[in-house]
Structure 1
Amino acid sequence: MLNLILAVLCSVAVSVLLKIARRRNIVIRQAIAFNYILASALSYYVLTPDFKGLGFTEFVLQSEQAFIFLALGILLPSVFMIMSKAVEYAGIVRADAAQRLSLFLPIIAAFVIFGETLSSGKLIGIILAFVALCCLLYKAADKQLQKGGIALAFVWLGYGVIDILFKQVAKSGAAFPATLFIAFILSACVMFGYLLFKREIWTVPGFIGGIILGGLNFMNILFYIKAHQSLSANPSLVFAGMNIGVICLGSITGALVFKEKISRVNLAGILLGIAAILVLFYFNQLFG
Structure 2
Amino acid sequence: MIYLLFSILGSVAVGVFFKYIKKYAINIFEIIIINYVITSLFSFFIFQVDFNQISVNMPWEIILALGILLPTIFVVQFYAIKHAGLIKTDIAQRLSLLIPILAAIFIFQEELNTMRYVALAVGLVSVYFILNKGNAIKTSTSNKSTYYLLGTFLGFGVIDICFKKLALYSAIPYTQSLFYVFATALILSLVAYTLGTRKNIFMIKKLNLASGIFIGGLNFVNIIFYMKAHQHFSSNPTIVFAGMNFGVIFLGTLLGYTLFNEKLNKKNIIGLALAALAITLLIISLN
Q: Which TM bucket (shorter chain)?
A: 0.7 to 0.9
2:71 corresponds in structure 1 to 77
Partner of 2:9: 9
After superposition, the C-alpha distances for 1:185-221 in whole angstroms (9 at most, x for unaligned) are 1111221111111225443322221111112211333
Q: 2:66 touches 2:185 (CA, 8 Å); kept in 1?
A: yes
Mapped contact 2:77–2:89 kept (Cα < 8 A): no
User: Once the two structures are superposed, what CA deviation does each residue of 1:46-84 show, in whole Å capped at 9, x if it has no partner?
Assistant: 12245555xx22125xxxx33322211111112223344
**CA contact under 8 A between 2:33 and 2:189: conserved in structure 1?**
yes
Alignment counterpart, residue 107 of structure 1, candidates 76, 101, 107: 101
Distance (Å, rounded) in 2 between the aligned partners of 1:109 and 1:40: 28
Give the Cα–Cα distance (whole angstroms) in 1 for the partners of residues 219 and 161 of structure 2.
19
In structure 2, relative to structure 1, the CA distance for the partners of 1:47 and 1:100 (3 Å cut) is: farther
- Change in CA separation of 1:270 and 1:185 when aligned onto 2, cut-off 3 Å: farther
Secondary structure class of the residue paired with 1:221:
helix
The TM-score normalised by the length of structure 2 is 0.75
Counterpart for residue 186 of structure 1? 184
Deviation per residue, 1:200-254 (Å, 9 max, x gap): 544332222111111221133345567789x889x99x94775554333311221
1:121 aligns with 115
In 1, the alpha carbon distance for the partners of 2:169 and 2:230 equals 20
How many residue pairs align between the two structures? Answer: 276
1:164 aligned to which of 157, 161, 165: 161
Counterpart Cα distance in 2 of 1:256 and 1:94: 22
Find the partner of 1:208 among 207, 210, 213: 210
CA-CA distance at 1:282 after TM superposition: 2.0
2:169 counterpart letter in structure 1? S
% identity of equivalent residues: 34
Q: Separation in 2 of the partners of 1:86 and 1:250?
A: 19
Cα distance in 2 for partners of 1:253, 1:144 equals 28
Give the match for residue 220 of structure 1: 222
Give the secondary-structure state (helix, strand or coil) at the position aligned to 1:59: coil
Partner Cα distance (1:267, 1:32) in 2: 34
Distance in 1, Cα, partners of 2:178 & 2:279: 26
Q: Paired residue for 2:256?
A: 254
Shift, 1:177, TM fit: 0.8
AA partner of residue 86 (structure 2)? A
Segments of 5+ residues of structure 1 without an aligned counterpart are: none
Residue 29 of structure 1 corresponds to: 29
Tell me if structure 2 keeps the 8 A contact 1:90–1:148. no
Counterpart contact for 1:27–1:205, Cα < 8 Å: no
State the TM-score, normalizing by the size of structure 1.
Answer: 0.75
Q: Which runs of 5+ in 2 are unaligned?
A: none
Q: Secondary structure at the match of 1:23?
A: coil
Distance 1:116 1:69 in 2: 24
Mapped contact 1:131–1:272 kept (Cα < 8 A)? yes
Counterparts of 1:81 and 1:126 in 2: how far apart (Å)?
Answer: 29
Retained in 2: the 8 A contact 1:6–1:220? Answer: yes
Sort the Cα spacing of 1:264 and 1:77 in 2 relative to 1 into closer, same or farther, 3 A: farther
Q: Distance in 2 between matches of 1:200 and 1:3?
A: 41
Match of 1:24, SS state, is coil
Cα distance, 1:18 vs. partner?
A: 2.2
Query: Is 196-205 or 29-38 further displaced after alignment?
Result: 196-205
Shift of 1:38: 0.8
Q: Which residues in structure 2 correspond to 1:265-280 (within 5 Å)?
A: 265-280=267-282
Decide whether aligned partners of structure 1 residues 81 and 268 sit closer, same or farther in structure 2, where only a CA change above 3 A counts: farther
Return the offset for 1:144. 8.4
Is this contact kept in 1: 2:66–2:181, CA < 8 A?
yes
What is the alpha-carbon root mean square deviation over aligned residues? 4.0
Q: Is the 8 A contact 1:18 1:28 kept in 2?
A: no
